[in-house]
Amino acid sequence: MRKRTFILLCWLWPAIFNMVTAHAVDFKLVDREKRISLFERWIPSSKDMTVRELKAVFVVHSDIPAIVKLLQDEHRSARWNVNAADFKILKTGTEDHWISYTRYDIPWPLDDQDCCLAYELSGDFNRTVINFRSI
């Protein structure tokens, strides 16, 4: 099977807060280690508070079925999804769409956080994108 370059963009935390976000050009590079770039931007969540949205960008050299299989594997999720205390996958009837539920074990005095993400595959033979959004 031919290997393709796959770019995964991860947007963290704002999905949990269900915020309206600005364009990706607002992100500023905050760290780069090896082939992973970490970006941030600050967005208002209420009148007196802003929260940080993180975006990680990295390239994976793999075939798409292997990546999808990893993203949907409830048993291997703890190896790549740090602090995930619970991880479940809901199949939607098609291979190109699925929903994940993750509960993060946050140390006291904070409460645990959880999120539901809807994933969707799109693209063609030369380029495949896995989009996800909070639901």
Determine what percent of the chain falls in helix, strand and coil, rounding each to the nearest 5.
Answer: 15, 55, 30
What percentage of residues in the chain have a pLDDT greater than 90? 19
Neighbours of 91 (CB within 10 A): 10
H-run or E-run covering 19: none
Q: Are 55 and 24 in contact (CB under 8 A)?
A: yes
Percent of the chain having pLDDT more than 70?
81
63 versus 25: the higher-pLDDT residue is 63
Stronger pLDDT, 1 or 107, i.e. the higher one? 107
pLDDT tens per residue across span 57-96: 887 788 888 888 888 899 888 888 878 889 999 988 888 8
Residue 12 has pLDDT above 60, yes or no: no
